[in-house]
Every structure is written in structure tokens, then in C-alpha cells.
Chain A
């Protein structure tokens, strides 16, 4: 038993190290290339492909099976295979797939009308729908969880409003079922559908549909012939992305899915944290990576298809002002979003300032929640639950968060920039304009669908829990350094993706213009390329900060109570049903994580 665990540990540690170092390997390999953008595919391919494809794909099963010296490889392999097909693994697999599939379907259903509206009409509030797309990336899942509990829970705003209206609704328990999980996931991710499908739809000329109409097709037939085939790749692209996010969803499942079932990621977490069954963790991670690779492949494939379909679009049609019927539909849709999606967020903001007094039985507004978290004793109220909020937990957590997540964001920015830059200058550069900022993350880009696209996508197919556990085993520590490493690993692929989009929008001729004006290659790189990319780097860094600040998974997996971060404090307050104080922490956290959003909005406007 010990031997098996030791070899599994080695495997986990190896994967973690290889994964975390892959940006450095890629960067080193491709730095052999000239900076002028010339093509050396012979170097670029191993530089990008080895760390990106080979390590996660081969190392996990390979090292796990062959690494056990004590009991012999065959026994170890047999154990792993048996574990792979054990009922609990299969149940977790089935539940992961089911919830991710249903969540994606519901997100599509919710997002599709929004995509239609932003593609076809100019109306007040159009920008609002577009801005929603930042939410899945900038709003930490822990905040979504809290707000949905406050809104849809047993005593939630929505539930109470319904019961006041005389409707009996068992929403509170529904929230903790498969359907509750699907509901939360769908509302968390539908803006991705609006953004990605809507942006392609907006560029699609009406002529094909009109041609079908003049040839005698009805509205529906014309849509299915003239629009749907060109829209389908973008629908599938965003669907595979949403699927991937839901498939890896951790905190939301941990809180809401607990009673209904366990996803693979939660299973990995339990195997590492509670049952200490490393082979089990490895097997679950393997199953997860295989499925996730399929989703990543689908994403990449449909991304390229979307771009190919959009190539023949020609000039984008102009958007009309909506008809009376369309206005009604948009207003109804807007109301739906406000009631079901923004309602919970509003509830969270309001609850942060609400003080429930158990003696008076009433509720008033005030800053007491914040004051208690800051260790202040205002209005003579005694701080309760000193075990949780002794001293000034908010300040301590904020300081920890800023230090650890801030460092992780910086490191992630460095790694992401290294990968994006090396793949840009290593691969054949094509002129083109891609989306920038968070829209460049998983928007329809196509430009980086090849090798460098893969290296930034593949990490999404790896379990953060496993990576973190691997580092933990390797360093034999539970300190803050592990939080930094773990959060760096989850954030850098996002930085690299966003910067790859920015790099692909870089016009090579501007560099050439500087050369003809007397700049040497490095001066041109610094004064032109770097200056043009700089706002994108800043925005990617802000985005990385958003991710690392909001992350609760890594500290949870590490169980490092020593370093309480803001999300961890929020999680623990929520677990102890101290919702108002949790909301107060949530407000502070939201202020930090939304920095990225506002940053991007500003840079988008200036370009």
C-alpha cells in the first residue's frame, strides 16, 4: 500500500512540475528563433508541442504505471485499471458528464436569444448584454454560490417573494440537487454564448437568408439554410467551452452538488484531502483529462470552423432598430436576466449592509458586518463567534489575498506573456485583427488554433487539484508558496490565451516601419511591439489578478488554514451560515476581482 502510494505521489509530483514548467520550456525552446518574425517551424513545433501535448497526455498514465518499483508494474497497473472501472469512479464520471451536458444545454437555451438580440438590433442596453460576458471570467464562483443561496435558498429573496405572492416553492431544496447545480452553472455561463454566438451572428450577411426567401423558402427554412449552418460552428465552439468549465466546476459542485452526486474534480479533492487515496485521485484525474481533451479538441475544431465560415461573410450588415414586437421580446429577456441572474447579485450586495438583530427580530441597514470583520466594536454589539472572526479577519485575509494572489497574478502574467510571445515570434505570423481583452480569451479567434493555441488550451484539461497536490507532495509544505504556485498554474493559460489574441492582432508592418526608420530589431520590439502590446499585458495581468483573487479551490485543496484568503474566509463564513458577514467579505472580494473588468472596458474604449 505504501509503495503504491509512493509511486502515485511521484507521478503526481512529476505531472505538476512538468505542467508548471511547461511555459518555461516552451519559452526557452522558442527563444532560439529570431525576433523578426521569421519562421522556424522545426523549432516551434517541439517548443510548443512537447510541453503542451506530450507531458499531460503521456506522463500521467505512463509514470503512474511504470513508476512502482516495490510491487512491480503489472500489479500497479491492474490496480489502477480496477480503480478506473470501480462503481464510484463510473458514478462520478456519469454525474460529471450529465451535469455538464445539461448545464451547457440550459446555458445555450438562455444565451441564444441574447445572441440574437445583440446581433440583429441596436438598442439601449446592448452594451449591457455584451458586458455580461465578462462575468463568468471576473466573478468568482464562490460569490455566485453565496448569491444564489441568498436568493433561491430556503429563506432566500426569491423564495420569500414567491411565498408572499401565495406560491409554494420548494426552491431551497431544489438548489442542492442536480437541477440546482445545472441552474447555477447555466446562469453562470450563458453570457459566453451571448458573446461568442452573437459576435459571429452580427457579422453574418442577411443575403443568404434573403436568397432562400426569394427562392420560395419560408422563414424557418430560410434560417435553417441561410443562417444556421454558418452559425453552428460558433454555437458548438461556445458550447464546448461551457461544457469544459462546467465539467471542471469544483466549488459550485462542492456546495450544491453534494447531495446529488460527485464530479470527478470533487472526487479528486476528496481522495486527496480526506481518504488519502492517491491512486484513486490519479485515476479520476486521468478520466477527467481524457474527457476534457475531447472538449478542448472540439473547442479548437469549432473555433477554426467558425473563422472559416466567417471568411466568406464580406461586409457586416448594419443592425436595425428593433420593431415593437422585438422591443417586447428584449424587455422580457432583460427582465428574465434581471430576475434570475442579477437578482442574486443584487441580494448579495444588499445583504452585506443588512444587520439582523435576533433580539429585536428586525432588520436594519448598517456597516456592522464590515465593522465586525474589521474587529471594531460599534454600537456596543459584541462580536460573536470569536473563533471565526477574532481580531480583524477581513484585514488579515485581504492582506494574505493581496500578497499571495498578487504574486501569483504577477507570475502568471510573466509565464503567459512568455508563452504568447514565444509562440507568436516562433510561428508564422499572420496579419489579422483578433478580439482583444477578455473577448480574446475564448471568443471566436481561430488565429491561434494551431500549436500555441493548444498549449494554452491543454492546461484546461488538467485537474488543478492534482497539480496542487503534486506540488504539495514535492515541496512537503502547506505554506503560502503552494498557494502561489497553484494559482499561477490555473491563471497563466488564461493570460497566454488573451495575449495570444493580442499578439495575433499585432501588425507586423508597424515593426517593419520602425526598422525602415532606423530602429534595430530590439529597439523596434521595445518601442513598437511592446508599446502596442503593453495595454493588453496590463489588462491580462488584471485579469490574472481577478482569477487568483477569486480562487478558493487551491487553498481548499491544500487545506492551509495558516493563510486565510478572502475567498476562503467567505467560504467558511458561508459554511457557518453567517451570510451577512459573508456578503460583506463578498463585496470586498468583488471590488478586487472586478478591477479587471473595468480595466478592460477602459482599454477597449481607447483603442
Chain B
């Protein structure tokens, strides 16, 4: 049975509307990942009871909490600005939640001491939050939220205000504490790297809808639409003019830059309504010099694409190259990159041994197993 189950949760205010369903097993950390303004914080606040949803249910450990006031929901919440009580010491901050759950005296003291030791914040207990560093405040806010062993921990971008090295350090700390303590948590972030590090499950969210949910790997292997590809930086996109079935289980996408084969299962557009043929998505992996390709008598046109190198950026272990694809044939009008959602520059990684300078022409081969045809915007799943 799922530990947390949100079904058909609806929330509307002004022009904004939110509609979400998700489920999380016990001990898992779910990450709600999406751009700012997509409604992820609102979703979290609905779960906490700080906003009142219009419809739907929220069930934690088999208990419907959707209509309860926040104090009865048995949750922990880590706020974006932490919302520590500056008028109380670190210890009093942690004890605040215990006291409300009738845990007092030596029992409370023992819990605080043990927790403080585990979270390495013993030295902070007698100080006031305003006299602590950013990282210390984070740890204290985290300790305060989990002290009373809430059934569900909610975290609203608590790491977003930290600088990069501290953020990485605290991310690892959070990860290990969550799994060691077996806490079921819902974490909100717009940072892809953070979502991958913390999330056992990722829920991809845009414009008030959850577009995909699953393990990070499943989402990476099976992105639902072009928007997700762009947001997660998964690969490159080309506009599709038409597509046709070829052989058993194969599909050919016709693009201005060539024709490309992919698995029929990777085609998520039906193309029947004529207008939207979707976008061809691929992960550019292999590039060769055109001269070599000519020697191997490979022709551009099927599963191959010629491109001009625009920029080469040294990245340490590899080079990042930006390519401008060349049209495989003359076409009337532009390629309409804006309207199709496809990029007109393709970025890929190249081995350091692959020596190349801007202006050179190269040929890309595209692996039929690593591409597909996606809709521009998936309907919420």
C-alpha cells in the first residue's frame, strides 16, 4: 500500500489552476520537479494544510488528512526561508513540535539530544537561529521538522538560498539522513541535479499538471514530451514534417535535416489530426568527419545528418560542441524552429580526441534505439 496517496487534488486561484495525483511508498523520497510558478509549492502547501484545495483527497498512512487543519496532519515542513523562530534557542525550536505532541521533560530532552547528535547540531542547541550560519540554520530547520517523527516530511526548496558547494554538501547530508531514518518525504525543487540526487521518485510538473512520475531512470528513458526534454536537458529536438511506418515495429520521421528511423513504440504522436506531427527527439552521440564518412560511402539522408560546427567549448573531460544542422534539401520558408519547439542548434559532447574547429562540417549518425517522436506538450498523465 502506498504511504502517501494524493488523488484528483484540484486547486484554483485566479488564472492559476492545479490538478495533481501522485503516490509514494513508505520510506521513499518523492521530488516534485518543475520550473518556478508551475504550482509545486502550492501542491506542497495543500498537503500541509496551509492552502485549502477545492477537491480531491490526500491520504497518509491510510488516513484522509485533506480536510484537517495543519496541526492535526502529523507532518513536518521545511520552508524555503526556513521560518525558524528567532526568539527561541535551537533547542526550543526543536522542542516546539514535541511539546505540541505532548512529549515533554526528560523524554523530550532525550529526543533532542539524540537527534542533535545524529544531525551534528549539538553545538547549536543553546544558540539563537539569527546567530547561526546558513548551513547550520538548514540543519536546525530539518531537525525541527523531523523531531516528532512526522508521518510525512515536506520540503519546499530549502536548499535554494545556499551557494553551490554548501548546497551539494547539504544535499548529501539530507539524502543519507532521509534514508537512514526511513523518512517518507516530498521535496520540491526546480533544480534537476538536486532532483536526481534526492529523488527515489520524480514527479515532473509544469503549468499546474504532473506530466510524468517514476524513477529518475524511467523518466530519462521515456520523456513524455518536448518540454520535458528541454527542461531536463535530455537531448536535441528537430521539427517533424511527416512520419510513416516502415517494416515491423519501425517508424521513419521526415525532418528538414534528413529522415530518421526509430522504434514505433517510441512514437508518442498519432499524427492523425494532421497539424501536429510532434518533434523528433534524439540524443546525439556519434559524430564523424564528413571526409571519413565519404570514404565509408555513407550517404547523408537516412539516420544521418550533416551539420556545421558553430562553437567548441572545452569542458575538462570532454568538449561540448554546438552544431547547426544543414537542411537535407531546399525547403520553402524557414524551418519554423519557434513554432515546432525544435532547436536550431544541437549540442553534444565530443571526445577530447575528436579535434574539430568552428566552421568545419561533420556528419552525425543517430542511433535508432535512442530517439523517438514526442508531442510538444503532453496531456497530463
- Whether A474 is near chain B, meaning CB under 8 Å from some CB there, is no
- Whether B100 is near chain A, meaning CB under 8 Å from some CB there, is yes
Residue numbers in A under 8 Å from B144 (CB-CB):
513, 517
Residue numbers in A under 8 Å from B73 (CB-CB):
516
Residue numbers in A under 8 Å from B76 (CB-CB):
516-517
| Stretch with Cβ within 8 A of A (4 or more), from B77-85, B281-289, B304-312 | B77-85
Q: Per a CB cutoff under 8 Å, which of B49, B69, B86, B100 touches A517?
A: B100
Q: Mark A501-520, 1 if CB is under 8 A from B, else 0.
A: 00000010110111111111
Find the B residue at minimum CB distance from A515: B70
Residue numbers in B under 8 Å from A519 (CB-CB):
71, 96, 100
A518 touches B97 (CB 8 A): yes
- Report if A509-B81 is in contact (Cβ < 8 Å); known contacts: A515-B70, A518-B97: yes
- Whether A432 is near chain B, meaning CB under 8 Å from some CB there, is no
Give chain A interface residues in 539-570, CB to chain B under 8 Å: none
- Whether B148 is near chain A, meaning CB under 8 Å from some CB there, is yes
Interface size on B, residues (CB 8 A): 27
CA distance A513 to B101 in the complex (A): 15
Residue numbers in A under 8 Å from B132 (CB-CB):
none
CA distance A531 to B87 in the complex (A): 7
- Whether A3 is near chain B, meaning CB under 8 Å from some CB there, is no
- Whether A532 is near chain B, meaning CB under 8 Å from some CB there, is yes
CA distance A527 to B100 in the complex (A): 11
CB distance from A506 to the nearest CB of B (A): 11
CB distance from B91 to the nearest CB of A (A): 14
CB distance from A561 to the nearest CB of B (A): 47
CB distance from A396 to the nearest CB of B (A): 41
- Whether B50 is near chain A, meaning CB under 8 Å from some CB there, is yes
- Whether A218 is near chain B, meaning CB under 8 Å from some CB there, is no
Find the A residue at minimum CB distance from B76: A516
B81 touches A507 (CB 8 A): yes
B77 touches A520 (CB 8 A): no
- Report if A518-B87 is in contact (Cβ < 8 Å); known contacts: A509-B79, A512-B70, A513-B77: no
A520 touches B69 (CB 8 A): yes
CA distance A523 to B87 in the complex (A): 16
B70 touches A510 (CB 8 A): no
Q: Mark B121-147, 1 if CB is under 8 A from A, else 0.
A: 000000000100000000000001100
Residue numbers in A under 8 Å from B148 (CB-CB):
517-518
CB distance from A419 to the nearest CB of B (A): 24
Q: Mark B27-52, 1 if CB is under 8 A from A, else 0.
A: 00000000000000000000011100
Q: Mark A459-502, 1 if CB is under 8 A from B, else 0.
A: 00000000000000000000000000000000000000000000
- Whether A521 is near chain B, meaning CB under 8 Å from some CB there, is yes
- Report if A516-B87 is in contact (Cβ < 8 Å); known contacts: A507-B81, A509-B81, A523-B100: no
Find the B residue at minimum CB distance from A513: B83
- Report if A518-B101 is in contact (Cβ < 8 Å); known contacts: A512-B50, A512-B70, A513-B77: yes
Q: Mark B57-83, 1 if CB is under 8 A from A, else 0.
A: 000000000000111010111010101
B81 touches A516 (CB 8 A): no
- Whether A528 is near chain B, meaning CB under 8 Å from some CB there, is yes
A516 touches B85 (CB 8 A): no
B97 touches A512 (CB 8 A): no
Give chain B interface residues in 258-285, CB to chain A under 8 Å: none
Residue numbers in B under 8 Å from A523 (CB-CB):
100
- Knowing that A512-B83, A519-B96, A520-B71 touch, tell me 5 more A-B residue pairs with CB under 8 angstroms: A512-B48, A516-B145, A516-B154, A518-B148, A607-B130
Residue ranges of A at the interface with B (Cβ–Cβ < 8 Å):
507, 509-510, 512-521, 523-524, 527-528, 531-532, 607
**23 CB-based A-B contacts, threshold 8 Å:** A507-B83, A510-B83, A510-B85, A512-B70, A512-B77, A512-B79, A513-B83, A513-B144, A514-B85, A515-B49, A515-B71, A516-B48, A516-B71, A516-B73, A517-B71, A517-B96, A517-B144, A518-B97, A518-B101, A519-B71, A520-B69, A531-B88, A532-B85
